Structure 1
Amino acid sequence: MFKKILIANRGEIACRVIRTARRMGIATVAVYSDADARAPHVKMADEAVRLGPPPASESYLKAELIIDACKATGAEAVHPGYGFLSERESFAKALAKEKIAFIGPPPKAIAAMGDKIESKKLAQAAGVNVVPGYLGDIATTDEAVKIAGDIGYPVMMKASAGGGGKGMRLAWNEQDVREGFEATKREGLASFGDDRVFIEKFIEAPRHIEIQVLGDQHGNVLYLNERECSIQRRNQKVVEEAPSPFVSPEMRKAMGEQAVALAKAVGYYSAGTVELIVNGADPSGKSFYFLEMNTRLQVEHPVTEEITGLDLVEQMIRVAGEKLAFGQDDIGINGWAVENRVYAEDPYRSFLPSTGRLIRYWTPPPVRTDELVIRVDDGVADGGEISMFYDPMIAKLVTWAPTREAAIEAQIAALDQFVIDGISDNVDFLSALMQHPRFREGNLATDFIADEYPDGFDGAPADAQFIEDLTAIAGMVAVISDERAATIDGQLGPPVHPPCERIVRIDGESHKVRIKPYKGGTLAVTDDGDLVDIVGRWIPGQRLLVATVDGRHRIVQVRRAGRDWELQTRGRTHRVQVLSPHVADLARHMIDKPAPDLSRLLLAPMPGLLTKLDVSVGDKVEPGQPIAVMEAMKMENILRAPKAATVKATPAKAGDSLAVDQVIVEFE
């Protein structure tokens, strides 16, 4: 067993590896860029070594710096995590040359599966089903257009070395190919150092299901069941679960055996994942096709751990020198696990990436019992920063329960307890997904989000009972807050006793509520209805309110928003006004301030780098015409003309770092 290992990664996965290594009695070495100098993984490790400036190309992607850090600290092995150098054959070879163990598969397997073109050819030879497509290297856009037409639209353009949703473009027609081919090449080159692109048929309404494999260096390879990863946005996974609600035992066996056959064909050992695209419209379960093999630990590995009882990081460390201590018959399925990825993005603004300081970051308390697991894997903390240089994932929320329904309900309750201030987050959206009837049915596909939210996201729906409960809670919060303000020492005059009646405006509707706090709770009557009892006393300034309203359990985040309140719960942030009756009567006469006219401006939708500007002063543009390209969180975003117009000015230039809402182009 190794005495000291270096983790060639950052953030959540670095912390994850450190925890397992510590439990195994192995010392750890962290590496960091200047942007991560105070990051949790640096503090957690026994030692830490600086690599360089924030850009990954100058720090985490420099293999020679990792090797120097190993030599300086005496680390015997390197765990690469995922991303960065984890699937770089040259890195594994360089470590072997220096007699430093690589906690991962052999270089030849990385090379074979890392090239998506060659991997499909190998999969065919191993008897694995593959998606129809063109597996040669495509040099020009015109060539890509011809090939796509021959295959038949829709098609998917993919960077040969891509992964994690990067370097992928869906094309429904020739225009999509012409606009997206070069962007796919650039993303592949920027993220993976390889600009080769291939094209394959896009299977409509597909499910994305993957098989976890684990092998040792003695020829043993096992499959550890499947994960359902169909809930995606822009080809990037959002929700994962294990097992899949679609997969039958017979299908699981067939998929698992093909995955093992492929792994054995390339001499694979360590943890890896064979990703499959499945025709969800075929109830026989026989229409599944090889997509790619990830020769590393997956982001979503915790759901497999929770249903099998295995620690995959520990197994990776052990099989770097030991034989597997169990066989295929020892792998079972216990309960159900669901993982949600908490991202730094704003679902209310087309999921635009968000960067900045985490002013407040609280997570739901961990739980591990025979009936429930709540697990948060993260690598951030209060006061930390979500940087534009790296992936926008903040944390992974994992819940386990004996049934799928219970695991999903646990997700909703835990998401209500995530407190993130300073940046935007997708917690409301994740909660809405967990409550969506189609998700609860298990009727999933990779286009689920596009189908169910075609006009964007504006919060989870709330029924009349829920709104009534929130109205009572809002009234309670306001009355208690006013009572506290009226009893502050040092005021002139006699004590003031605020009236108990309030007008609550929530989601555009006004409600009258009468409130009577008592020790330990509050009595409330909404719209002259029945008396309800809110058990759970709110304290002014308290962020999380956990209460029951006539026995209905409610977890609500309470925030002051100027003169209003924000109540965040169950997938929606409700902006609420609570007014005294006479103030509400006068407020009806207040004129709303008109919003500024921004129609003549193209604004930066997110902070990021302006990599390309396609127009100049005097150019005429048509609606939907590509105007600029911005890069943020390692993804390219094409900005288009909102209408037909003439360019008046271009305040921003290619190469500029832009703030959100900064003007890029002004139209006449």
Structure 2
Amino acid sequence: MIKKILIANRGEIACRVIKTAKKLGIKTVAVYSDADRNALHVEMADEAVHIGPAPSNQSYIVIDKILDAIRQTGADAVHPGYGFLSENAAFAEALEKADVTFIGPPVNAIQAMGDKITSKKLAAEAGVSTVPGHMGLIADADEAVKISDQIGYPVMIKASAGGGGKGMRIAWNAEEAREGFQSSKNEAKNSFGDDRIFIEKFVTEPRHIEIQVLGDKHGNTLYLGERECSIQRRNQKVIEEAPSPFLDAATRKAMGEQAVALAKAVGYHSAGTVEFIVDGKQNKFYFLEMNTRLQVEHPVTELVTGLDLVEQMIRVAAGEKLSFGQDDVKLNGWAIESRLYAEDPYRNFLPSIGRLTRYRPPAEGTTADGTVIRNDTGVFEGGEISMYYDPMIAKLCTWAPERLTAIDAMSEALDSFEVEGIGHNLPFLSAVMNQERFRSGKITTAYIAEEFKDGFTGVIPDAVSAEMLAAIAAVINHRLQARAIQISGTIGNHARKLGKDWVVNLAGSDHGLTVTEGTGNTRVAFEAGNELVVATDWQPGQTLAHVDIGGDTIALKVDLKGPAIRLRWRGMDITARVRSPRVAALAKLMPEKLPPDTSKMLLCPMPGVITGVAVKEGETVEAGQALATVEAMKMENILKAERRGTVKKIVVKPSQSLAVDELIMEFEG
């Protein structure tokens, strides 16, 4: 059996591997860069080795540094996690030469499947249906446009060695094909050290469904059901589930058997994933790629099969046979995974970095109603979110016997998840969980683009939700006022009295109401005639409130901002102001403070590094023209002009690091 595993990775997946290794009684070694010196995976491992500066191309993907860490610690096996060197054949080969067990597939399988061009040819030979496209290498942007014209738009431009949504662009015309080719090429080179690009037809109304395969070194290969990964943003998965709400048993079997056939064609062993694009109209599926590693979204498969995939990978690497067959694989219940990213949904999901001033995930385990909550993470409260790596904070998973129950459990778990200090996508995830289209299962990879055409601006409360939040704000205010009147030392005729009549302003509307304290609850009577009974153990200073209201039990985040009460629930972010009727009347007379005019400025939308400036001072630019390029968290972002104008002043230089909203250039009036 393997005695000591070095995890050639960081963050959440490194912590995940360490947990299973400890369960099996195997020692672990973490590696870390300058930026990760105090990271959670370093603390969890039995040993840790420093491997270099923060940029991954100077640390985590430098093979010699990983090999040196192996020699220092005497590790006899390596788990690569996902990303970094996980699908690098040269790395697997180097481990083989060093007589170190690679907890992954054989070198030839990585070479064949890791190259998307080669993998598509092999898939076709193995009888797997494939998407029409150009499988040869593409020399330059002109050739990319020519090929795209021949295939017919829209097309998908992809890095041959890509993964995680990097090096991918959808082009709907020749101009986008030219621009997308160069951006994909740049991202691929920076992320994978391989800038080869290919182009294929983009399937409209596509669903992204993948099959989990598992094989041993004795010729046994199985499929463990599927995962639906259609909720994506910029080709990066955001929400996954198992099984898929779209597949029937016959299609599941057909996809699974094709996935196994492909795996066997390359002598595959270990865990791997065969990804398919499924045509939602014609119910046809096409091979997309094979990932020769553990997937980010593997927990949902674990939750519905009861298998520990990391454990299976370790046992297979050690030479054990699989202890079960295809007929033993049963899909039980439904699992949902939400990826919590350090991305600000209110700023078009741009990366956010900084310190986690608060990080309180919901309690893990089986709840009273039988649902399961799981949270895979690599961060901790007080830790730093770095600009050098992917923006993953955590993967929150829920399991229940049925899909809608699992979704409801996820919605409640998200409401209880506290994250402060950085921008994050929790409110967006909450919004999706409560959308009827998602709940119905009628989803495609275009879901986010179609449902949030103008970006995410938060969920606007309906009349029922607004009334609930107004009642909760009134009760919170009642608690604050009750505490305030207990302050000692006040002069008798200046002592505060606990009022009953209030006006709550939220979401642009006023709610006149009366608050009456009862036995164990508080009654809120609205001027309109409705009444809500509120019971909560919330006290001033608490940031999470559990409230029984109108027969429902909910959790919501509470943040006191001076006289204002900020409430966050189900994707809503509402600031309530509770005033006496007299003060509310006067507040309507106050002038509105307008934000400063930044229409003549290009501000950096995220913390990142300027990798290029495409214009010069005095140049006239047109709407849609590229102005500058910012790289953040391994993604290249092209900033474009919103309208015609003349560049007055450029205040940045290439390679300069910028903070959010820092000035890049100014335009003439």
TM bucket by the smaller chain? over 0.9
Name 1:497's counterpart in structure 2: 497
Q: 1:464 to 1:102 in 2, by over 3 A?
A: same
Deviation at 1:593, TM superposition (A): 1.7
Secondary structure of the residue aligned to 2:299 is helix
**CA deviation vs aligned residue, 1:622-658 (integer Å, no higher than 9, x gap):** 1111111111111111101122111110001111101
**CA deviation vs aligned residue, 1:547-566 (integer Å, no higher than 9, x gap):** 11131222111101343111
Name 2:335's counterpart in structure 1: 337
Give the 5 Å matches for 1:309-324.
309-320=306-317, 321-324=319-322
Cα distance between partner residues in 2 of 1:656 and 1:30: 32
Amino acid at match of 2:358: R
Secondary structure of the residue aligned to 1:443 is coil
Contact 2:461 2:507 (8 Å CA) reproduced? no
Deviation at 1:538, TM superposition (A): 2.0
Give the 5 Å matches for 1:287-326.
287-320=284-317, 321-326=319-324
Name 1:221's counterpart in structure 2: 221
Name 1:434's counterpart in structure 2: 433
Deviation at 1:460, TM superposition (A): 2.7
Q: Mean Cα displacement is larger for which, 554-563 or 339-348? A: 554-563
**CA deviation vs aligned residue, 1:340-393 (integer Å, no higher than 9, x gap):** 101111112211111100000000111226821100000100000111000001
Deviation at 1:62, TM superposition (A): 1.1
Q: Mean Cα displacement is larger for which, 559-568 or 643-652? A: 559-568
Contact 1:520 1:537 (8 Å CA) reproduced? no
Amino acid at match of 2:392: M
Contact 1:168 1:235 (8 Å CA) reproduced? yes
Name 2:347's counterpart in structure 1: 349
Cα distance between partner residues in 2 of 1:255 and 1:392: 32
Deviation at 1:543, TM superposition (A): 1.1
Cα distance between partner residues in 1 of 2:505 and 2:256: 55
Give yes or no for the alignment of 1:327 onto 2:325: yes
Give the 5 Å matches for 1:265-414.
265-282=265-282, 285=283, 287-320=284-317, 321-368=319-366, 371-414=370-413
Amino acid at match of 1:553: T
Name 1:660's counterpart in structure 2: 660
Cα distance between partner residues in 2 of 1:521 and 1:65: 62
Secondary structure of the residue aligned to 2:654 is coil
Cα distance between partner residues in 2 of 1:500 and 1:6: 63
Deviation at 1:595, TM superposition (A): 1.7
**CA deviation vs aligned residue, 1:391-425 (integer Å, no higher than 9, x gap):** 00110010000000100000000000010110011
Contact 2:610 2:656 (8 Å CA) reproduced? yes
Amino acid at match of 1:467: A
Name 1:85's counterpart in structure 2: 85
Secondary structure of the residue aligned to 1:567 is strand
Amino acid at match of 2:515: I
Q: Mean Cα displacement is larger for which, 402-411 or 490-499? A: 490-499
Contact 2:460 2:507 (8 Å CA) reproduced? no
Secondary structure of the residue aligned to 1:598 is coil
Unmatched segments (≥5 aa) in structure 1: none
**CA deviation vs aligned residue, 1:527-582 (integer Å, no higher than 9, x gap):** 25233211223200111111111312221111013431110011111121111222
Question: Which 4+ stretches in 1 moved above 4 angstroms?
Answer: none
Q: Mean Cα displacement is larger for which, 147-156 or 576-585? A: 576-585
Name 2:443's counterpart in structure 1: 444
Deviation at 1:507, TM superposition (A): 0.6
Secondary structure of the residue aligned to 1:210 is strand
Secondary structure of the residue aligned to 2:497 is coil
Deviation at 1:319, TM superposition (A): 0.3
Give the 5 Å matches for 1:179-198.
179-198=179-198
Name 1:483's counterpart in structure 2: 482
Cα distance between partner residues in 2 of 1:505 and 1:586: 13
Cα distance between partner residues in 1 of 2:620 and 2:458: 38
Give the 5 Å matches for 1:533-544.
533-544=533-544
Secondary structure of the residue aligned to 2:67 is helix
Deviation at 1:586, TM superposition (A): 1.1
Cα distance between partner residues in 2 of 1:48 and 1:410: 37
Give the 5 Å matches for 1:59-98.
59-98=59-98
Unmatched segments (≥5 aa) in structure 2: none
Name 1:462's counterpart in structure 2: 461
Deviation at 1:519, TM superposition (A): 5.3
Deviation at 1:508, TM superposition (A): 0.5
Amino acid at match of 1:458: T
TM-score (norm 1): 0.98
Contact 1:240 1:338 (8 Å CA) reproduced? yes
TM-score (norm 2): 0.98
Cα distance between partner residues in 2 of 1:66 and 1:368: 38
Secondary structure of the residue aligned to 2:416 is coil
Cα distance between partner residues in 2 of 1:12 and 1:522: 43
Cα distance between partner residues in 1 of 2:266 and 2:591: 70
Give the number of aligned pairs. 665
Cα distance between partner residues in 2 of 1:239 and 1:274: 18
Secondary structure of the residue aligned to 1:597 is coil
Deviation at 1:490, TM superposition (A): 3.7
Contact 2:404 2:439 (8 Å CA) reproduced? yes
Cα distance between partner residues in 2 of 1:120 and 1:31: 34
Q: 1:562 to 1:610 in 2, by over 3 A?
A: farther
Contact 1:346 1:354 (8 Å CA) reproduced? yes
Name 1:422's counterpart in structure 2: 421
Give the root-mean-square deviation of aligned CA atoms.
1.2
Contact 1:157 1:181 (8 Å CA) reproduced? yes
Deviation at 1:3, TM superposition (A): 1.3
Q: 1:57 to 1:491 in 2, by over 3 A?
A: farther
Deviation at 1:239, TM superposition (A): 0.5
Amino acid at match of 2:298: H
Q: 1:326 to 1:564 in 2, by over 3 A?
A: same
Cα distance between partner residues in 2 of 1:578 and 1:349: 29
Q: Report the identity percentage.
A: 59
Contact 1:9 1:84 (8 Å CA) reproduced? yes
